[in-house]
Amino acid sequence: MAKTDKTGLEGIARAAGVSKMTVSRVLRGSGGFSNETRDRVLAEVKRTGYLPNRLAAAFGPAQSSTLVGVCVPRFTSSLFGAVLEATNTAFARLGYQTMIGSHDQLPEEEEAWLRGLASWRPAGVILAGRHHSPGTRDLLRAMTVPVVEIWDLTTTPIDISIGFSHYDTGFEMAQFLASRGRRRIGYVGALAGVKSMGRARFDGFRAGLAAAGQTVQDMEVLHDRPGFYAGFYGAEVLLGRSPRLDAIYFHDDEMAIGGMAYCAAKGVQVPEDIGIAGWGGMEAASILPKRLTTTIVPTAKLGKAAAEALVSRLRGDAVPDVTLIATKLVPGGTA
């Protein structure tokens, strides 16, 4: 849709019944307005197809863009921090700059970030995950730039998918614990109610136990974000309710380490009394007195591969639509 000044900020502000400054704040993702105001403004933005071009105003034609957007679930995760470092290093070497964001595994947050990014006319986009809102998919189609979905592999990508199957890593760990003779296995997770990649791992874990003729005996999925204390508290609640469990699979390594701290505080021996398994291959898991049983994710390799694939697509080179990055189960000494 062709746009004039009247269909820009002023027209949107008038139609939404707010000031131009409020429209600008909504588009920048700032605060200071209600959810109702935000919804009215974004509805007008969608209706008019308005997309401010900050990059063109500042640096010239959109075709000259060397900016790439990268959005991950959390900045506080050491795993995603490693992915961001690898992508940023690779892009810098290839002559590109990154604009990063996080979405907390909430599709609406990813969409809001992408809408702000789109106004800068990026050369490409990297998104962690494969579950996106309809609005995000519409935006990506309108942007017509290379899109790399990382972290959770999909065989039907928007453009390019680079990652691994969270489901398969959960399935593999379940099979491993069953092979070690564990028969009363529980689970401690996080982000209850969120369609997270941790949930995909749990689905695979449950299926892996079923294939071994077992079931998850008890589980505690917290609404909190994953972390050391969440693991400590989750283990406390789960073992308080089911003290005869002989193994626990945790959402990630940080939660598993928190669970081990709880066991140590209560005199529960790992792995003699109970087996503990995590996920991710976080650095802290490798320096424990007993190395944590976990699944290592090659974060640096994944981030580098994503950056190189996106730039290759921009240059017109052939790029596989789907690339599997292999993970590795480490038996460790805790299960």
Per-residue pLDDT of the chain (335 residues; tens, 9 = 90+): 333 334 577 788 888 898 877 887 777 666 678 888 888 988 888 888 776 655 444 444 444 689 999 999 999 899 999 999 999 999 999 999 999 999 988 899 999 999 999 989 899 999 999 999 999 999 999 999 999 999 999 999 999 999 999 999 999 999 999 999 999 999 999 998 888 899 999 999 999 999 999 999 999 999 999 999 999 999 999 999 999 999 999 999 999 999 999 999 999 999 999 999 999 999 888 889 999 999 999 999 999 999 999 999 999 999 999 999 999 999 999 99
H or E stretch including 317? none
Q: Which two tokens stand for residue 65?
A: 């863009």
Query: How confident is the model at residue 6, as a pLDDT?
Result: 44
| Domains, the chain, ordered by start | 1-50 (1.10.260.40), 166-296 (3.40.50.2300)
Residue with tokens 């900050």: 54
Closest CA to 214 of 252, 251, 177: 177
Three-state DSSP at 324 gives strand
User: How many Å from the N-terminal Cα to the C-terminal Cα in the chain?
Assistant: 60
Distance in angstroms (rounded) separating the CA atoms of residues 216 and 284: 27
Whole-prediction pTM value? 0.81
Residue 51: burial class (beta carbons within 10 Å; 0-12, 13-18, 19+): middle
Give 156: exposed, middle or buried? Use CB within 10 Å, 0-12, 13-18, 19+.
Answer: exposed
77 is written with which tokens?
């995760």
Rg (C-alpha) for the chain, rounded Å, is 23
